[in-house]
């Protein structure tokens, strides 16, 4: 039986999760970069004649921190494999009326000799048809919430605007 309508919805969720990881991760890294820039500015402003070694150390620590943030919040999460099973379980948590039909249909309809010898083709076909019927009208998008990522991106935009405004104001002075 063809699960392509379900798999298509699952792929949309997978792409949405990946895009949210990118936005969230780079927002965090940029906020850290802004914090490092502000800290460096404050040190320069309040400490007269900062030695070159201290400036270099601040630069290395800042760049290292930003690189760590990109690894921790972008590269590592993007490296985690999000399977159809993972997304199906999230969908079933969102829609408990599916009663494990979606995950069962995905798992039991897998092809290959290791699966076929244990499965009844008629039972699997019936289960897939039922899963398609039950999940056909469901919107899978509520499974992934973008609320926290939106707030983080907004704060990043506010910080970038504030730093840009400060830079423009200082340029005129």
Rounded to whole angstroms, the Cα distance separating 43 from 38 reads 9
Rounded to whole angstroms, the Cα distance separating 134 from 119 reads 21
pLDDT at 166 over 90: no
Q: Smallest Cα–Cα separation from 133: which of 89, 98, 104?
A: 98
Measured on CA atoms in the order 109, 114, 120, 122, is the torsion positive or negative? positive
Q: Smallest Cα–Cα separation from 16: which of 138, 152, 146?
A: 146
Rounded to whole angstroms, the Cα distance separating 152 from 15 reads 19
Mean pLDDT, rounded, of the chain? 90
Interaxial angle between packed helices 84-94 and 4-46, expressed in degrees from 0 to 180 and rounded to the nearest 10: 90
What average pLDDT does the segment 140-169 reach?
Answer: 91
What average pLDDT does the segment 145-153 reach?
Answer: 94
Provide the pLDDT for residue 170: 73
pLDDT at 173 over 60: no
The string of pLDDT tens digits covering residues 70-104 is 999 999 999 999 999 999 999 999 999 999 999 98
Highest mean pLDDT among 109-113, 115-119, 127-131: 127-131
Distance of CA 73 to the CA centre of its chain: 9
Provide the pLDDT for residue 115: 61
The string of pLDDT tens digits covering residues 32-73 is 999 999 999 899 889 889 899 999 999 999 999 999 999 999
pLDDT at 118 over 80: no
Q: Decide: 66 and 32 in contact? Cβ < 8 Å.
A: yes
Residue with tokens 């999000």, as numbered in its chain: 82
pTM: 0.84
């Amino acid at each position: 039986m063809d699960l392509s309508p379900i798999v298509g919805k699952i792929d949309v969720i997978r792409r949405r999760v990946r895009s949210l990881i990118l936005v969230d991760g780079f927002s965090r890294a940029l906020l850290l970069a802004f914090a490092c820039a502000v800290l460096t500015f404050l040190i320069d402003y309040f400490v007269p004649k900062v030695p070159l070694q201290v400036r270099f150390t601040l630069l290395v620590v800042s760049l290292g921190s930003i690189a760590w943030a990109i690894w921790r919040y972008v590269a590592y999460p993007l490296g985690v494999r999000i399977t159809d099973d993972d997304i199906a379980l999230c969908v079933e948590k969102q829609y408990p009326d599916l009663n494990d039909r979606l995950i069962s249909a995905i798992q039991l309809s897998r092809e290959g000799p290791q699966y076929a010898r244990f499965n009844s083709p008629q039972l699997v076909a019936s289960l897939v048809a039922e899963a398609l019927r039950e999940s056909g009208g469901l919107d899978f998008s509520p499974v992934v919430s973008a609320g926290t990522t939106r707030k983080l991106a907004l704060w990043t935009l506010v910080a970038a605007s504030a730093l840009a405004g400060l830079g423009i104001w200082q340029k005129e002075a």
